[in-house]
Amino acid sequence: MHRISAGIAAVALVCSGCSPQSQSVPGDADSRPLPRVYVVNYPLAYFAQRLGGDSIQVLFPVPEGVDPANWNPDADRIVEFQTADLVLLNGADYAKWTLRATLPWSRTAVTTHDVENQYLKVAEAVTHTHGPEGEHEHGGIASETWLDPQLAIAQARVIREELENLVPKTATSLTANFESLQTDLEALDRDLKAAFAALPGPWVASHPVYDYLDRRYALNLQCMHWEPDQTPTDEQWQAFEDMLKSTPSPFMLWEGEPTPETAQRLQQLGVTTVVFRIGDRRPASGDYLELMQDNVKRLRDAAAGRP
């Protein structure tokens, strides 16, 4: 079991597209409710749904437009987590509110439990404010483990083991579904490796969320603390240009499209913008793998000189 200790936190979620009420198994004579699995980010929701299919109800209740890593659920949401059949945490200090709330520890699993020795530490903590979450800090342990497809496979494996305990009658389908998901993630790994290999580094990133991507594909990454919807200040531009003098970086990763003013100035500095969405939130359309393949396509476009 990949459990957390009794003093460590809980997970709360808003169901995407369904209420937190239990659903019944179709055709089940005694109409037993589906086990409710709560998760703290979209990759875990996607992995759990791919594996468990119709045998579970996956709930990911972070409100739209809110960063799941910095979400602070209210008491009602926390109660929902506390009554879940299974709570899946990302680990690596992701969703810090879970370190303050009381979770049902016997029904809570840290999906990175088996790869904790591969966590990356953030050398310098930086606090800033953006979005409805307000002030937050980038420091301690890098949290976006799933960006390394090999770590994502390890997380999916833990989820499979937990679901085998939760719905043991589905063990055969869980194994088949895991093998399918693993195949897809390994193909994504190969695609990302080839796409990044075609783009000379070093890279720069608008935000410190790509640490595991950096290590996996040797990007030699430098990080700023910029937001896509905000134009950098004169001081931020000066710091960026000073960084380019010592470490010229022809490509810059962004979680979303930067403002036109920012994109234009980057172009003038000889820096190509590449949007690489980290997938922590449910996409407006498609699923996690489609979102990642869109990232691959933008990398390939950048290598080909296409806008």
Q: Quick check: is 223 in a domain?
A: yes
Q: Quick check: is 188 in a domain?
A: no
| One domain, residues 224 and 144 | no
C-alpha distances in angstroms, 196 versus 91, 151, 178, 224, 302?
A: 27, 18, 27, 20, 10
Nearest residue to 94 (alpha-carbon basis) of 123, 132, 120: 120
Residue 29 is predicted with a pLDDT of 42
pTM metric for this prediction: 0.87
| One domain, residues 262 and 156 | no
Q: Quick check: is 102 in a domain?
A: yes
Residue 129 is predicted with a pLDDT of 47
| One domain, residues 45 and 128 | yes
Return the sign of the alpha-carbon dihedral for residues 77, 82, 83, 84.
positive
Give the domain-ending residue among 122, 148, 181.
181
Residue 48 is predicted with a pLDDT of 98
Q: Quick check: is 11 in a domain?
A: no
* CATH number of domain containing 102: 3.40.50.1980
| One domain, residues 205 and 141 | no
Give the domain-ending residue among 133, 155, 181.
181
Exposure class string for 58-82: b at 16+ Cβ within 10 A, else e: bbbbbeeebbbbbbbbeeebbebbb
Locate 107 and state its tokens: 């029904």
| One domain, residues 161 and 49 | yes
Look up the domain containing 87 and give its range.
36-181
Residue 130 is predicted with a pLDDT of 47
Per-residue pLDDT tens for 238-252? 999 999 999 999 999
As a whole number of angstroms, the longest Cα–Cα distance in the chain is: 70
- Counting as low any pLDDT under 50, the low residues of the chain are 5-29, 125, 127-131, 133-136, 138
| One domain, residues 168 and 219 | no
**Residue 154, C-beta contacts closer than 8 angstroms, at least 6 positions apart:** 111, 112, 114, 115
Residue 137 is predicted with a pLDDT of 55
| One domain, residues 154 and 209 | no
Half-sphere exposure of 122 (CA within 13 A, CB side): 22
**Total domain count, the chain:** 2
| One domain, residues 48 and 126 | yes
Beta strands in the chain (DSSP E): 36-39, 57-59, 86-89, 108-110, 121-129, 135-141, 203-205, 222-223, 251-254, 272-275
Contact 33, 101 (CB under 8 A): no
Residue 201 is predicted with a pLDDT of 86
